[in-house]
Amino acid sequence: MLAIGDILVSEEIFEKKFVCDLQKCKGACCIEGDCGAPLKKDEIEILEKEYENYKPYLTSEGIQAIEQQGFYDEDVDDKSTNTPLIDGGPCAYINYKDGISYCGIEKAYLEGKTSFRKPISCHLYPIRVSGVGELQAVNYERWSICADACTLGESLSVPVYKFLKEPIERAFGKTFYEILEDYNTKNNG
């Protein structure tokens, strides 16, 4: 375990290999699961404020789900806030192209229509950030739907943290990523 300030980082982000393989998984992480993607409180405000900018990039079912449920869903068990789902299935912010799901918010961002890329939990996946007392824990999350991403990552020899350089820098800053690089170089050659 690596400690960077008040953030604990799992060794698995250096050891495990990962590169998304959308041609094989078809974006299943936006479809599968029993709840939506975790949202930070400030992201909820941004989702609401930017709605008209990314709305044209969503499915009609997603728009209906958002307009009926709101911009987030609160999990009564753990009090977390998550993206709403379409009939208990896909994320409400989803869309599809050539049979592959993608984030409608991110598509709008890439086309310069919104300043918000997508929820940081989605951008960081398969890294999950959780609280441990007053500390944060950065862990690698295993999910069977990502088996092809693990296989591709192994074949290309790309550790999780390298695949996620941009979202790690977005979430924690460039200095944090540089510390990860230095640590990996010293400990994993």
Q: Are residues 132 and 121 in the same domain?
A: no
Cα dihedral value 149, 9, 109, 88, nearest 10: 70
Identify the pLDDT of residue 189: 65
Contacts with 96 (C-beta within 8 Å, 6 or more apart), sequence order: 59, 102
Residue 29 is given by DSSP the state G
Which range of residues forms the domain containing residue 5? 1-18+128-141+149-189
**What is the reported pLDDT for 32?**
87
pTM of the model: 0.90
Each residue's pLDDT tens digit, 22-69: 999 998 888 987 788 899 999 999 999 999 999 999 999 999 999 999
- Residues 25-35 pLDDT 10s: 998 888 987 78
Q: What is the mean pLDDT of residues 123-137?
A: 88
Residue 131 confidence class, pLDDT cut points 50, 70, 90: confident
Is the same domain home to 61 and 94?
yes
Decide if 161 is inside a domain: yes
Nearest 10 degrees: Cα torsion 54, 58, 61, 64: 10
Q: Is there a single domain that holds both residue 69 and residue 133?
A: no
132, part of any domain: yes
DSSP 95: E
How many whole angstroms separate alpha carbon 102 and alpha carbon 141? 20
C-alpha span between 74 and 166 (Å, rounded): 28
d(CA 5, CA 85): 35
66 & 119 share domain? yes
Banded pLDDT at 187 (limits 50, 70, 90): confident
Predicted confidence (pLDDT) per residue in 73-122, tens digit? 987 776 789 999 999 899 999 999 999 999 999 999 999 999 999 999 99
β-strand pairing of 7-9 with 135-140: parallel
Report d(CA 26, CA 30) in Å as an integer.
9
Per-residue model confidence as pLDDT tens digits over 138-172:
999 998 989 999 999 999 999 999 999 999 999 99
Task: Using the 3D structure, point to which of 71, 93, 125 is the last residue of a domain.
Answer: 125
42 and 96 share a domain?
Answer: yes
Same domain, 113 and 46: yes
| 63 and 110 co-located in one domain | yes
Per-position DSSP letters for 30-78, written without gaps between them: GT-SSS--B--HHHHHHHHHTHHHHGGGS-HHHHHHHHHH-S-EE-TTT
